[in-house]
Chains A and B, each alone.
Chain A
Amino acid sequence: MTDINFATNPAMKLAPDLFAVEMAKNSNREGWGRALADMGDTNPNLAVLSADVSGSVCTNHFEKKFPSRFVQCGVAEQNMASVAAGMALEGKLVFFSAYGVFSPGRNWDQIRVNIAYNNLNVKFSGAHAGITVGPDGATHQAMEDIALMRVLPNVCVLCPSDEKQAYKAAVAAAARKGPVYIRLCREKFPIFTTDATPFEIGKINVLAEGKDVAIVTCGVLVHEALKAAKNLAAVGISAAVLDCHTIKPLDVNTLVTYAKKCGCVVSAEEHQINGGLGGAIAEALAEECPTPLVRVGMTDKFGESGSAAELLARYGMDAAAIEKASKSAIAKKAKNKKK
């Protein structure tokens, strides 16, 4: 193997200083919150609900600008989901948010029957999702929310990778008919996309081309995957990086194209590997194009307290883990060829 240069896909218009230590950071929940406040200006029909965590989930920007279109539901996520449904039944474009462990963790039934079964225009985010919520510990680390939402008919599931993409996801969710779940995190992560980076629901962003392994990722692990791809290039491995920000509807065409091109796939997410992005990819590949797959994510465990970086390392969800998984996937591919 020889060293190869790592380059991102120019069409993706990523930030030039992609791996700089001093790179600007923010949480993706901030992007969602800004988008709501901005959309409130142009859409008088937009209403927002919160469950006592308005500041944390960044719906407070909207609340300050449009108090008469903001509903404070108190610590009652089940009620909030049904109230949101009622507002949508009367024609409102409704957004609500709480921590992922509580919403959609606690109000799954209300989301299922009131919102999904009725196919209503309700857009809701689970903030503080994933292990990167850190010190709060396992009770507050939503590691199952993608799985919970992905199985519901009519529900679109988005997992934005940075603050700018979260803004675009909220805007795209507003424009889409029907329920949309948006997964957000608390921790500040590098803003590595730009205003010019494309975002279309249901379309994978190919951030880097590659031929040896396809890394399919979402959320805050996308940047880790880019770091992994750069490190892999240094040892002669060409890794494609696919930002699969839409887990449902899954962009099966692009997934299959890269599975065929690379011959093996790695999924990477800060979510249980069962039922999340990894689960979705495993299902699609098994049916459409059986391909060696290694899933990076939480391996059927609960987390614990610690910093975001410590926990990503401890539970194998950082760039190093993605590099290791990529090598395993390539080894699986080679083993299959020998047979």
Chain B
Amino acid sequence: MGTNRLNSTTELKLKANDIRQDLIHMLLAAKSGHSAGPLGMTDIFTALYFHTASHDAKKPRWEERDRIILSNGHIAPILYATLAHAGYFDKSLLSTLRKLDSPLQGHPHMGSLPGIETSSGPLGQGLSQACGMALAARMDKRQRVYWVLMGDGEQQEGQCWEAFMLAAKYRLGNIIAITDRNLIQIDGTTENVMPLEPLADKYKSFGWRVVEIDGNDMNAVVSALDEARAHALANAESAPTMIIADTLPGKGVSFMEGKYQWHGKTPNADEAAIALKELQDARAKINADQ
């Protein structure tokens, strides 16, 4: 880890709060995109980039870095905001999200921005690519950790299950997948649109090691990510790890929390003002609780 490692829970919570505020500014300026998923995943992205993962914003192609692959590309705003905070590029670019000539494409494009391991958008393809990366690393006898951030709705794509099988067959223990179990997708709740449960049992039956956490509890997130990384390094040829992270979509903005209607929608100016006020109040509380 070469970039601004934060060790205390308070520092990480404050960083997550800063990133959430930037998300609101970005989404307001972009006028289109996804709000609920990025806000729900902010704690995990913060813990990953500012605490657990080994990476260096000054050397984005550093050979030994942890690879962080975003499979559900539509939550790109949280990837962009986190990368900017980590120092991969200037934060002033965040306001250009989805605009003509911006490197911040609506869905991530490899090559447009440092820190993006692959392009993504069409769902269900990230884990497969991580499998290929891990197989290549094994052929070259290199020790690497591969993180794959996946949505829950995207696992209705059959390709995910093809990849779960392959990762287990080749015992790609250096893969750590994190499922954002926020229970929502565009048309409604996952269990109404196409039930995924019993999800943990499915992963287990596919030969995966499963860890379940509250994805918005910073202490729980940090300890789960740290444990998973240590396990991956020590057991590169074993069952891959799946972290099921229960998250609240829209986390931190009361009127978005838990609402599938905010999956693919952005706040207007009035809504953004309320959201920012709530996040600023939350920030004051984190400081007060310290």
Q: Using a CB–CB distance below 8 Å, which chain A residues touch chain B?
A: 47, 68-69, 71, 73-74, 76, 78-79, 81-92, 94, 109-110, 113-114, 117-119
Contact = CB atoms under 8 A, between A and B. Distances in A.
B118 A69 contact: no
A114 B166 contact: no
A86 B129 contact: yes
Contacts of A109: 122
A117 B107 CA distance: 12
Interface of B: 109-111, 117-122, 125, 128-137, 139-140, 158-159, 162-163, 165-166, 169-170
Given A76-B162, A78-B162, A87 B128 contact: no
Contacts of A83: 128-129, 131-132, 135, 163, 166
B119 A84 contact: no
Contacts of A86: 118, 128-136
Contact of A79 (B133, B136, B166): B166
B125 A89 contact: no
Nearest to B73: A113
B132 A113 contact: no
A50 B131 CA distance: 15
Listed from nearest, the 4 A-B pairs whose CB atoms lie closest are A86-B132, A82-B128, A79-B162, A86-B129
Contacts of B128: 78-79, 81-83, 85-86, 110, 114
A209 B180 CA distance: 64
26 contacts: A47-B135, A47-B136, A78-B158, A78-B162, A82-B128, A82-B131, A82-B159, A83-B131, A83-B135, A84-B132, A85-B128, A86-B133, A86-B136, A89-B118, A89-B132, A89-B133, A90-B140, A92-B139, A110-B128, A110-B159, A113-B120, A113-B125, A114-B118, A114-B128, A117-B119, A118-B118
Contacts of B122: 109-110, 113
A86 B125 CA distance: 10
A83 to B, nearest CB: 4
A92 B136 contact: yes
Contacts of B125: 82, 110, 113-114
Contacts of A91: 136
Instruction: Specify the main secondary structure of chain B where it touches its partner.
Output: helix
Contact of A90 (B109, B120, B136): B136
Contacts of B134: 86
Contacts of B131: 79, 82-83, 86
B198 to A, nearest CB: 23
Nearest to A90: B136
B132 A90 contact: yes
B119 A114 contact: yes
A110 B123 CA distance: 10
A94 B139 CA distance: 13
B244 to A, nearest CB: 22
Nearest to B157: A78
A73 B167 CA distance: 10
Nearest to A69: B139
A89 B139 contact: no
B17 to A, nearest CB: 33
Contacts of A82: 125, 128-129, 131-132, 159, 163
Nearest to B133: A86
Nearest to B170: A71
B148 to A, nearest CB: 10
B117 to A, nearest CB: 7
A118 B136 contact: no
B135 A71 contact: yes
A308 B166 CA distance: 36
A164 to B, nearest CB: 30
B137 A90 contact: yes
Nearest to A84: B132
Given A83-B131, A109-B122, A110-B125, A89 B162 contact: no
Nearest to B138: A68
Given A47-B139, A74-B165, A113-B125, A118 B119 contact: yes
Contacts of A69: 139
A91 to B, nearest CB: 7
A78 B170 CA distance: 18
Contacts of B133: 86-87, 89-90
A224 B119 CA distance: 43
Contacts of B159: 76, 78-79, 82, 110
Contacts of B140: 90
B22 to A, nearest CB: 27
A225 B163 CA distance: 44
